[in-house]
Structure 1
Amino acid sequence: MNTIAALKQGNLLVFNEVYYSWHKRIYYFILRKTKSPFIAEEVVQLTFIKFWNYRDSLADNIGVELQLFRIARTTLIDLLRKETVYQEKVVHVIANYTLPLDDLWGRLAEKELQHKLAHVLEEMPPMRRKVFEMSRFKGMSHQQIAHELSLSSRTVESHIFQAIRQIKHYLGLLLLLLVWLFPF
């Protein structure tokens, strides 16, 4: 029986075979692109969920491999777009968040947030910190930073991504609380 036809009929054994045949290849494909095991795992999981959920719309005349890698690629793009939007919101909160002057607790929270942000920036490797500050505090584009520091745009993007991930990890719930309390 044709693999696609079996999947369309809901055959879990065939799905398991496809999963075990392709999940590592997709993982390493995404890992090569992102250099992030976390993102690679996430994309693989989402890819196979989508593959199963949309099995009725799989093309009969296109191989399983090609369809899986298309799904993985679009899933990665979607995930990176969502991450970029989230990161921009977090940075916006950090950079533009102000409280009324008469709010003592608010001022204390703002000072604490600024202190924590300064601390996490100090903990970053020097180049990552420099790239992040040039991007977020000086408003420079990736190309401008790359040119000034003699780096590739890809390296600049990677430094910014890692810096924001480090900030999110360090500030964690505090940022989530701020985003929830003060939506954009």
Structure 2
Amino acid sequence: MGKDMIYGIKTGDMAVFNNAYLNYHKPIYDFVFYKTQSDFIASEVVQLTFIRLWERRTALVDNLELNIQLFGMARQVMIDQLRKEATRFRYNQQSDQHPFTDNLMNMIESKDMLKQFEQEIAAMPPIRKTVFNLSRNNGLSYAEIAEIMDISTKTVESHIGKVLSRLKQYMFNILF
């Protein structure tokens, strides 16, 4: 189903695209709502993610599951939307309308640290990077990652532990 769906979307088949929307709009909404606690942001991200999917359909990767690619797009769209909300907040100073904005401001202000973390992760072995990205960026459980990558959940847990350990060490070296 996954590769056929990717092929259909890449070739502009609207029925396949609509099917992808029906299958994935709720999981994406739930993922974004969990992260932001905002119905508005979650709804916007779902719509913009599928617009992005259609606009960039020819760039889809054939051998990577559609859900992984969609959640990656959704994550990036969510970050973009949160940045817009933060900018809007700075100008309007209406924090009571968006209670998550204070945490968002801290998150955006630490984007330099996040870039450093991304560089640290990029330097890790490929399987460790993939496991970590599937967990943190796509919100997949250890069991889902284990199934996708055909490895044990203990192996997934080990990779995640090693990434987190390396990031903690990196932070320790910066702070002390």
TM, length-normalised to structure 1: 0.50
Q: Which runs of 5+ in 1 are unaligned?
A: 92-119, 133-153, 161-184
**Counterparts of 1:155 and 1:40, CA distance in 2:** 15
User: Can you list the C-alpha shifts for 1:81-132, whole angstroms capped at 9, x where unaligned?
Assistant: 11112221234xxxxxxxxxxxxxxxxxxxxxxxxxxxx99xx6xxx9xxx9
C-alpha distance 77-49 of structure 1, shift in aligned 2 (>3 A): same
Task: Name the counterpart of 1:52.
Answer: 54
Q: How does 1:1-184 map to 2 (within 5 A)?
A: 2-91=4-93, 157=103
User: Can you list the C-alpha shifts for 1:55-96, whole angstroms capped at 9, x where unaligned?
Assistant: 0111111110000000000000011111112221234xxxxx
**Counterparts of 2:6 and 2:12, CA distance in 1:** 10
C-alpha distance 85-11 of structure 1, shift in aligned 2 (>3 A): same
Deviant stretches of 4+, over 2 Å: 154-158
The offset of 1:157, in angstroms, is 2.3
Q: Whose radius of gyration is greater, 1 or 2?
A: 1
Q: Which runs of 5+ in 2 are unaligned?
A: 107-176
TM, length-normalised to structure 2: 0.52
Query: Across the two proteins, how many residue pairs are aligned to each other?
Result: 102
**Counterparts of 2:81 and 2:33, CA distance in 1:** 14
C-alpha distance 61-20 of structure 1, shift in aligned 2 (>3 A): same
Q: Kindly, what percent of the aligned residue pairs are identical?
A: 42
**Counterparts of 1:73 and 1:28, CA distance in 2:** 12
Residue 36 of structure 1 aligns with an amino acid whose one-letter code is S
- RMSD in angstroms over aligned alpha carbons? 2.8
The offset of 1:13, in angstroms, is 0.5
